[in-house]
Amino acid sequence: MHKNFLFTQIIISTMMKITLILGVFLLLMAPICFPIIVALPTTKSDYESENSGLMDSPWPMFRHDVHHTGRSPYGKNGCTALLKWEIYIDGIFLAHPVIDKNGIIYTGSYRRLYAIYPNGTIKWTLDISVWGIAIAKDGTIYVGDWERYLYAIDPDGTIKWKSDLKDGACGDPLIGEDGTIYIGTTDPLLANGKFYAIYPNGTIKWSVKIDGCSSAVIHNNTIYTDCHIDGYLYAIYANNGTIKWKKWEGAFHTSFGPSVDEEGIIYYGSRNGYLYAFYPNGTLKWKYNIGSTYMPPVISENGTLYIASGSKVYAFDRNGTLLWKTKAYTANNLAIDKNGIIYGVGGHAVFALNPNGTLRWAWKTDEALLDGPTIREDGTIYVVGENHLYAIEPRDAADLEITGIHLGFGVGGFRIKVKNVGCRPAHNVTCGVVMRTYDWREDEMAIFEFTTTVPEIDVNEEVVVKIKGIFLNPLHYSPAFWDCSFELLYVEAEDANPDMLWEGGDFYPVTVFGPFVWVGGFILWLLGARGWIEV
């Protein structure tokens, strides 16, 4: 009995050794015989926890949250959009608007900070330069300025403290869940800028010498920011400022920083033409050539990425597969509402795209638009231009579009095509042109405006309108097309989204000799240019 048991144990032991040797052999041969697919680990973060240092408000910081998703839990349906109000902001380089829990909007310029009520009236101003703004959960408003300070400001406009950063901010403040504020600075002369972590009392927790860092994001206690001076994307430990890793993507590529999803994948749009996706350890997941950009993608709730580059908007899934791309107005920044509508700002327009990339509406202004969109709880969209803050409201209303211009000869005026692409009729539609010409007698340029009114344009109706009353005395005003031009062509009506052409200073040449009008110029007409131009 004892001998049989011993024999059995020897057999089992021998088989185990053979199995172990075979297993080791297979592991060693695996790279040769077949590939080993290793999924790099990602770690989900607690979205609510990581954003707990921010005020619980509709839009407390740049790109809405500490991940820069640009995603709002609010939104409003509407087939078009109308202007609610606009307010003049003194100075240039206006800051991305943020909103507190009471609906107060904060923005500013290199001259002052503004607090603005939801109806567009000013609550208070503060004479500090403003690069970026973020609102903490206790109501403190943190402002990085263009010169050298991070300010902590009470909701009534009182300065609590300011921390000397030695150089001007180059990114918007980021607030961690423990209240720590993170911000980068730049020194354009000596490249001595730093990236800082600052306690809520204004004392510096740590700093690392990285010059020219963008707005940053945080995920699982790691800060991600990029530096336009040396061209690296950095991962920095939030607790002590130690650099975890860095990836070079090209120097002097100004950007507004990365965004990061809940899995920890970091997305970065670069001026070198690529959209990058990195794993949390810095390994490249994928990249896609979309052309030069300086904004990261916004991230929808289902993980779809939207990013603007030039005059196009792209949609990608998490794996870098292009879902669609569409031509849009020259876009800077994007945002997403709760309905999946993508809003963009850039050029002279605010536009809305449906989730499939089709254009929903566009609202134009004659001023270049720079930043936003910011979305409040009632769906109002805030954007900033060169000198104004605009409040745009999605609504079911008339939407007027100039669809064609007749090129060539006319008497007493010229013809345009106007279509109502909205979902309500447009009443008392004003069609007008602003014309600029040289006044020989006064030796200066003169401005004229001519208008025609159309009683009604129904939904989906397109009409031909003659803008009448044009007459210029050739003994007084130059008819030459290099001296005479249409500066702005517009259509507008009450409760309608207006349209305009040549916004922002463009023009179209015209020759006017008494009542005779040649759109495009007399010489162009002689050369055979005539007929309708679709726009």
CATH code, 502: 2.60.40
Helical (H) or strand (E) element with 523: helix 522-526
423 and 318 co-located in one domain: no
For the ranges 36-40, 70-74, 523-527, the maximum mean pLDDT occurs at 70-74
Tell me whether residue 36 is exposed, middle or buried, using C-beta atoms within 10 angstroms of its C-beta: 0 to 12, 13 to 18, 19 or more: exposed
Note whether 437 and 472 are within 8 A (CB): yes
Tell me whether residue 409 is exposed, middle or buried, using C-beta atoms within 10 angstroms of its C-beta: 0 to 12, 13 to 18, 19 or more: middle
Question: How far is it, in rounded angstroms, from Cα 193 to Cα 197?
Answer: 13
Q: What is the DSSP letter of 37?
A: P
Task: Express each pLDDT in 149-189 by its tens digit.
Answer: 999 999 999 999 999 999 989 889 999 999 999 999 988 77
User: What is the residue range of 100's domain?
Assistant: 48-396
385 and 410 co-located in one domain: no
- Number of residues that this document lists for the chain: 535
2 found inside a domain: no
Label residue 30 left, alpha or beta by phi (over 0 means left) and psi (-120 to 50 means alpha): alpha
Take residue 141 and report the two structure tokens written for it.
Answer: 């408003």
Among 417, 515, 535, which residue's Cα sits nearest to residue 473?
Answer: 515
Note whether 219 and 238 are within 8 A (CB): no
296 and 429 co-located in one domain: no
403 and 390 co-located in one domain: no
Note whether 137 and 53 are within 8 A (CB): yes
466 found inside a domain: yes
Question: How far is it, in rounded angstroms, from Cα 535 to Cα 148?
Answer: 47
pLDDT band, residue 35 (cuts 50/70/90): very low
111 found inside a domain: yes
219 found inside a domain: yes
Take residue 253 and report the two structure tokens written for it.
Answer: 């590529």
Take residue 348 and report the two structure tokens written for it.
Answer: 């002279």
Q: How far is CA 534 from CA 232, 414, 489, in A?
A: 46, 15, 14
Q: How confident is the model over 194-199, as a mean pLDDT?
A: 96
Take residue 25 and report the two structure tokens written for it.
Answer: 């052999």
Note whether 469 and 482 are within 8 A (CB): no
Q: Is the pLDDT of residue 13 over 50?
A: no
416 and 314 co-located in one domain: no
Number of Cα atoms under 13 Å in the Cβ half of residue 84: 18
- Paired strand residues for 409: 518
Q: Report pLDDT for 27.
A: 37
Q: How far is CA 516 from CA 168, 413, 435, 441, 461, in A?
A: 57, 8, 14, 21, 29
**What is the model's pTM?**
0.89
Q: Is the pLDDT of residue 363 over 60?
A: yes
128 found inside a domain: yes
Tell me what the pLDDT averaged over the chain comes to. Answer: 89
266 and 166 co-located in one domain: yes
